[in-house]
Chain A
């Protein structure tokens, strides 16, 4: 705590620029230590072979020298269901909805309310899917997610979620950055900034196949945090290939020659300059790190190295589940390598992304089919590898959907007032459900958890106090949760 205070005072006095340099130096020193210990080639080998190399309390390039308190989890995998999954068709069972199907009632429809301030009459719509009990806890899950349902005893449901933003753009930004309109750092950037990464050869925040729409890069942007904390994109929504930008295809002989010459010339140029200015050391080191990443990353991205059994586990043997299965498997590989925050996106670039069934609700089945087996596979795999203990798996969308049909049609509209997310591993209570919505599944009425609260709770499990993880920018301290957020202790194991 004391050192953190000192650090922030230092920032206050010398501005962002110095802070940049300080952490660059920190990174440098650690790299240098590692290199002198085992030589350049050794670093890459350690990182790849033995997994995360131990950085003392937190990781490389961390802003904090140690977490605020003892962490329960080390990393996060966020399975983002873009467009908004309907809670009453998946995990929030509301038998009354079926009994009163077709009835007209008054609701505070969020969109109408924002536009007109009026309540409107809406027609209740039952779920087309059957619910069944699963697991020891007997939790009801719909037929949309039969595979995920097998893991209910490991899941912790938050049924009273609510958030801000009625449209996708604002709500998606709020989910990621805790603000609907202002340019703010993404949750992954905050965590990377606080804890650094466990693997010096890889970025600490990776987003797999992100959408270009609804805020696009802002959803994994560092905003005013130093740029290194922004998310690194692997692939993008709609693209088949899972590739990293800037990464060359292979290291050719010619390229090796260029890089070796570059190193030699850089060293000579470094000698011309003031030895006290460490920025130039960082420049030298950045070439080495780039070269290492180029050597390491293609191997991690190469899913062919996995066994046929693993492919089956993630549903990569089935054309319907292959695409999302690959992403989940890549997430597990990155997780093993010590990447701090990994987001796996299921979405697209359109204004009505993926799960956004304003009409044709049955299309939810198509999306559920694409993700269900891969998600179940990921949970199984993390568990059998012992990774689930200190990895938080977070599943959810930017909001939920209404229990009534839209314009009396065949779909459901957005619903930021009540929806479900689930968490697994990372010290959350397994086989547990917290909070509930009203009898129709519309608004959270008990155990309500605001998106700010969820952010605060995730940080808490990682050893971060959301009120103390701050960054001074333009004269004031900013945090992910603004001036809000409550750690939901009720769901912690």
Chain B
């Protein structure tokens, strides 16, 4: 890697260094060198040996610092001058080599020998004499990127134009496309057959296949010249928002869980519903931008609008955040970085993240722009920090009367809770009852009885061994080891430290090593309990240890029968606050008798406690049913932040005023003193003057419908990607979008009514294929693959099982982590939970967008796993079987089951599954298969035919 000249130079320098060292030693015995001699004897060799590989103008000047000349360290690197002569403590070089700052340690592969360190210390303290003049100007590495002042040289940063529409076609889109084709002398393909166009329109606008009846009616409408009516009907269907909304969800990395620890984001679904509703209502896209970037800062005229605005801000909060990161300052910046990445890609198609550590290598985005934007987002708090930080959920605003109702409930709840606490303190002092059944109400802390446990597998209730808590205990029947669990989860446990105890009834037939897992704030710990011996506490309880529980953190105990050698018993779990006073009361239990007066008092106290607990539980249920949303909060005061050198939060540079991308022109909106600038950011993005926003969105709609992007990468309009194939068309689409009030449906309608959209796939001549094999100039339709959601929904549609219920969360109640989540059900795919650790196999195999990053265009892979899943996945099998049953019944009724009807059967199945009639060859193969061996057509054969067609190429492509 080193150039030969460098090698030579190093050797020479080393030789000089050695000569100098020897020379010095021979003349100055007993006297420490200083000044130039010190430098030549000790410092120069050390620099060469330890530093110059990375810090020299000949190599890379890592961190901007070159140590091969005096000027090099005087000027310093990104963090400033490396040496302050005479001032050891202020010299960065000393800080680095002394290894005292854990964030700055050099050389990276180990501390320098002590003698060398001493030399450096003395040299710096004595004034750092360095005879090396600038060897040569550091190779002024020309910045490879486009400078800000020349940004207008790149098409995407130029103002939006309103290009003249060329003549020659009724639809302006076609006019632009034909003009280009004429220029290149490429003949256009003819129109697609009407039934092909109907299937295309249904899938592109609703994500669902047309039924054979719908195809017939659609074909009739097209032949009657009423295609506009067909398009308008599809645009008005609620299925439109579900289909197009899902495309947008790719762009904003929508997900309902976080990878680390599989935390479920229980309120994220509201954002998905917001998107579907917005597209169905055709809400202007500029309004959608403002709602998603700064909805919380907007004014509202109704409660519903206010709800919508807050829900939309989940865009900023859905990142796949590393909540565990211990360096919280760094975590905050990572969080903002992720937000900037998504905002940059989704709305502006800019890779802002590249400017975090250095000026963008290609695009006109200096680091100071990055921190100008980061400063804006800094005021919006999205995390509450703890060992594991937590995202923010806030109550949704409600109509006044409901707000009032909740306020009253809360007030009553707080009052009762106080009373209960006082009561429990008194009760804690009472003795242990002597009956066979112990009333949990008489116990301190929070007790979860086995009757309240969440059970997996068959558990049997019993009262055989006494005493027990409440009405009895449960056992696993000493069977199905490893398949049963009982989970005890306390409701509304206050944060704090608790001793956790497990109650069981001991016996010789019990298991000797029962795994009990305690899930707490910081850890998951497994404790093994020997249930053959009575519990150490009152023969009933065993302590599992002390644990810390956080608000909204994990807090439950799971008893499993995995690997156990006898009956596993669960009776109750107790969470005792580790408050030494209360603990002392607890210990007093079980001692002393109680007289009848006391008994009476105890009874009345217990009675009251029960009433209170019951009512509190009801209140808690009511309060927790109040809708919440995932959001951010504008909490921190507006503040400019410094550049983080090389992206490091511990290495701060110059502070930059909050602002926007300077490449988009000097006219930037002002941020008022009282504002963080986020509202201004939203307006700046959503402005018709912003040259990127409308182009980026118009290009996305084009991609979603036509199947190819007009400009290189829908998520990156930077200088490194291909310029648009039809720049005038792109500008026309973008400017028309703006002129028509940012209406998505208007632009979609223009596109699908064009001849360009309706073209056939077929090449007219072989020459055309040679001229433009990739169809960059749109002389024919693209081979469009259906997104996996449409493939899955189509399976449900043909099996007759599709449930078209809209909205709401489908996450099964009680799901605490997304691990191993089993996806079930027959709702449209868009409503199924998007779990980052557990996507359904079908989605995973067929290029579903990675929900951790903004995805503009999904991968288009063809791998064996896809075929494996289609052939083997149980969910696919179920759909195929249901479809086959349906066909077998219906077609049998319609055509009879005799072998001579097979041709009709095959026709019908092809129309249902592929939206077309079978070709002669296909018909022959399929009929032969159905009637093979002269047997009557069995349901099994029909099922295999359906399965083959579902797994075939045409089922997942559009003609």
Q: Which residues of A contact B (CB under 8 A)?
A: 12-18, 20-21, 24, 108, 111, 113-115, 160, 165-170, 173, 180-181, 183, 212-218, 223, 226-228, 232, 245-248, 254-255, 257-259, 261-262, 264-266, 268-274, 276-277, 279-280, 282-287, 289-291, 293-294, 349-352, 358, 444-450, 474-476, 486
Contact = CB atoms under 8 A, between A and B. Distances in A.
Interface of B: 102, 108-111, 259-262, 320, 322, 324-328, 334, 345, 351, 354, 361-363, 522-525, 712-713, 715-716, 718, 720-722, 761-763, 769, 773-774, 783, 819-820, 836-837, 841, 845, 847, 850, 852-853, 857, 859-869, 871-873, 919, 921-922, 925-926, 929, 940, 944-945, 947-949, 951-954
A358 B523 contact: yes
A111 B102 CA distance: 12
B322 A170 contact: yes
B929 A114 contact: no
A262 B951 contact: yes
Contacts of A18: 774
A405 to B, nearest CB: 17
B761 to A, nearest CB: 7
A448 B362 contact: no
28 contacts: A13-B722, A20-B860, A169-B260, A169-B322, A170-B324, A170-B325, A181-B322, A183-B852, A212-B837, A213-B260, A213-B261, A213-B819, A218-B852, A226-B861, A227-B847, A227-B861, A268-B925, A280-B953, A284-B953, A289-B867, A290-B865, A349-B819, A444-B110, A445-B111, A446-B110, A448-B108, A449-B109, A475-B362
A356 to B, nearest CB: 8
A315 to B, nearest CB: 18
Given A246-B865, A286-B864, A276 B326 contact: no
Contacts of A266: 952-953
Contacts of B861: 20, 24, 226-228
A223 B850 contact: yes
Contacts of A286: 862-864, 866-867
B764 to A, nearest CB: 12
Nearest to B334: A181
A448 B361 CA distance: 31
Contacts of B949: 265
B114 to A, nearest CB: 12
A255 B362 contact: no
B863 A274 contact: no
Nearest to A165: B325
B325 A254 contact: no
B773 to A, nearest CB: 6
Nearest to B954: A269
B795 to A, nearest CB: 15
Contact of B952 (A111, A115, A170, A262): A262
A337 B599 CA distance: 77
A15 to B, nearest CB: 6
A261 B110 contact: no
Contact of B860 (A17, A445, A486): A17
B325 A276 contact: no
Given A227-B847, A248-B871, A352-B525, 14 more contacts: A16-B859, A21-B860, A114-B326, A226-B861, A227-B859, A258-B871, A261-B944, A261-B945, A265-B926, A265-B948, A282-B862, A286-B862, A286-B863, A291-B867
A332 B862 CA distance: 29
Secondary structure at chain A's binding surface: helix, strand, loop or mixed? Answer: helix
Contact of B351 (A216, A228, A351, A476): A476
B871 A218 contact: no
A172 to B, nearest CB: 9
Given A218-B259, A268-B922, A274-B763, A279 B862 contact: yes
A215 B260 contact: yes
A243 B949 CA distance: 27
A261 to B, nearest CB: 4
Contact of A167 (B324, B361, B953): B324
B409 to A, nearest CB: 35
A382 to B, nearest CB: 28
Contacts of A447: 109-110
Contacts of A445: 110-111
Contact of B947 (A113, A258, A271, A294): A258
Nearest to A228: B863
Given A247-B868, A262-B951, A445-B111, A474 B945 contact: no
B771 to A, nearest CB: 12
B110 A160 contact: yes
Nearest to B708: A17
Nearest to B720: A475
Contacts of B326: 111, 114-115, 166-167
Nearest to A112: B326
A165 B152 CA distance: 42
Nearest to B330: A114
A290 B867 CA distance: 6
Of B259, B361, B716, B820, most A-chain CB atoms within 10 Å: B259
Given A24-B862, A226-B859, A264 B351 contact: no
Contacts of B345: 474
B354 A476 contact: yes
Contacts of A227: 847, 859, 861, 863
A258 B863 contact: no
Contacts of B524: 350-352
Contact of B944 (A254, A270, A289, A349): A254
Scoring A15, A18, A246, A445 by chain B CB atoms within 10 A of each residue's CB, the highest score goes to A246
Contacts of A218: 259, 852
Contacts of A448: 108-110
A132 B441 CA distance: 58
Contact of B325 (A180, A255, A269, A486): A180
A175 B872 CA distance: 34
B781 to A, nearest CB: 11
A258 to B, nearest CB: 5
Given A293-B864, A475-B716, A217 B102 contact: no
A214 B944 contact: no
Contact of A180 (B322, B351, B712, B721): B322
B872 A246 contact: yes
B930 to A, nearest CB: 10
B523 A474 contact: no
A287 B712 CA distance: 32
B102 A108 contact: yes
Contacts of A167: 324-326
B491 to A, nearest CB: 22
Nearest to A446: B110
Contacts of A287: 864, 867, 951
A290 B715 CA distance: 33
A475 B324 contact: no
A21 B922 CA distance: 28
Nearest to A467: B1
A289 B864 contact: yes
Given A254-B940, A352-B524, A15 B325 contact: no
Nearest to B919: A268
B871 A255 contact: yes
A23 B858 CA distance: 17
Contacts of A245: 841
A472 to B, nearest CB: 8
